[in-house]
Amino acid sequence: MKQQDIELCIFDARNFQKHGMYDEAITVLLPIIDLPQKSLFQVEALKLLSFNYRKLDDVNMAMYYIQRALKLVISLKGKEKGVNTEYAVCLMNKGVINESRGKITNALSDYSETLGIFQGLFDIGEVDNGILINALLTIGTACYNKNDYLSAKKYLMDALVYFGDDCKTDRRYLAIKNTLTEIESYS
């Protein structure tokens, strides 16, 4: 399969996802994942498979595919650009799956490691502030849902630093401000 065909399969899968056609997305992604030449395109396909299975409420299959994505991305270190970012994204997705399985401690561990990677990548200019905002919001929300309001407040306050001038129209900013207001009302 040529790279162009792989990219087309990924494009088609995303279109199916947008329309809630998760089984169809899975069908077009499966031929990509076991190709002999390993690449970040296969990592993307594995991440998308995980996402689609999560949408179908099959968290075991979602975890299976995100674990495969993590294993593949680790094997690509030093061979392709962007591997560290992809590793962190896979780890964040693993955290989301762990959280949906009720394994909050595992999720927080995944989120914490992800945040550290993203902060390092941000410091060297490889990711933008939006990535850090999402990571901080995710870990802050997980802490909030665990009733760890002190940690939630810390992460959410840290996220506010990364917003620019147009923050008032960003729904993440509004969600953070609302959550911080709720936390203050618990004090």
pLDDT at 77: 87
Global pTM exceeds 0.85: yes
Q: pLDDT at residue 166 above 80?
A: no
> Distance (Å, rounded) from C-alpha 51 to C-alpha 111?
17
Residue 122 CB neighbour total at 10 angstroms = 16
> Distance (Å, rounded) from C-alpha 43 to C-alpha 90?
9
pLDDT at 55: 96
Q: What is the pLDDT of residues 15-57, one digit of tens each?
A: 999 999 999 999 999 999 988 888 899 999 999 999 999 999 9
Helices and strands of the chain, counted as H and E runs: 9, 0
Domains of the chain: 1-103 (1.25.40.10), 128-187 (no CATH)
Among the listed residues 60, 59, 63, 65, the one whose alpha carbon sits nearest the alpha carbon of residue 26: 65
pLDDT at 169: 86
Cβ-contact 72, 42 below 8 angstroms: yes
> Distance (Å, rounded) from C-alpha 174 to C-alpha 166?
12
Reading the block at residue 178, the tokens are 């609302």
> Distance (Å, rounded) from C-alpha 155 to C-alpha 158?
5
DSSP assignment of 4-53: HHHHHHHHHHHHHHHTT-HHHHHHHHHHHHT-SS--HHHHHHHHHHHHHH
Q: pLDDT at residue 100 above 80?
A: yes
